[in-house]
Amino acid sequence: MEKLQLQKRDVTGKKVRHLRKDGLTPAVVYNGKGESFNVVMNTTDADWINRNTTSTSILDTTLEKESFKTLVKELDINPVTDEINHVALFRIDESAPMVFTIPFNIIGISPAVKNNLGVLVNVLDSIEVRCKLSDLKPYIEIDISKLDTVGQTINVDDIKLPEGMSLINDEQAKATIVTITEIQKVEEVVVAPVEGEEEGEETAAVEGEETTEETETPVKKE
């Protein structure tokens, strides 16, 4: 877990541009009760968050004399300058289950792929689960070493979730995580020559041949 130091922020709206000149990035912290408050963090910390955190990264956060844990929920980044405009943090209630987005980590080698029988298609990169912070895992491993034929799949209900985790709805259970599909063959297309033309014949004027005709300019009679 990484440590993050926050400060309270009274400046809002267009005035936050002055904060960035001082090396500060505006942010907001909100919780499951719908409460939120404005804060700032050092721009260097915001840059680190952008480069290193994932959907399961927990930050040990301090605001004045209060300490708590947060998740990074959203980063607003300028598409032109790559400057971080704003950071949204979610304050975690460690005593209550909450929804986390857990990424999948593919492990093993598929015999179907190794023997050039098919191609592995990654359909689902992550899944939303409900659990307490103490049961949170950084990822869920998906072992593809048993996928040896085309058409085989691994669905969500084929894996065992870590203890303490549960799906947020039953529809997720049938979702496909990975599948083996056929290798697409590339067919060579042969274009037949146009009737009446020999192969390699050009339709353009032959080099050196005159393509213009001399025309007589009419003389206007008085």
Query: What confidence tens digit (pLDDT) does each residue in 128-178 have?
Result: 999 999 999 999 999 999 999 999 999 999 999 999 999 998 889 999 999
User: What is the per-residue pLDDT for 188?
Assistant: 66
Query: What confidence tens digit (pLDDT) does each residue in 107-137 have?
Result: 999 999 999 999 999 999 999 999 999 999 9
The domain locations on the chain are 2-91, 98-182
d(CA 127, CA 122): 13
Query: What confidence tens digit (pLDDT) does each residue in 53-77 have?
Result: 988 899 999 998 899 999 999 999 9
Structurally, at CATH architecture level, domain 2-91 sits in Beta Barrel (2.40)
Grade residue 20 by pLDDT with cuts at 50, 70 and 90: confident
d(CA 75, CA 177): 27
Mean pLDDT of the chain: 85
pTM for the whole thing? 0.69
135: helix, strand or coil: helix
CA triple 216-221-222, angle to 5 deg: 155
d(CA 178, CA 109): 13
**Amino acid letter, 139:** Y
Q: Tell me, yes or no, if the two domains 2-91 and 98-182 fold the same way.
A: no
Q: Which CATH homologous superfamily contains domain 98-182? A: Ribosomal protein L25, C-terminal domain (2.170.120.20)
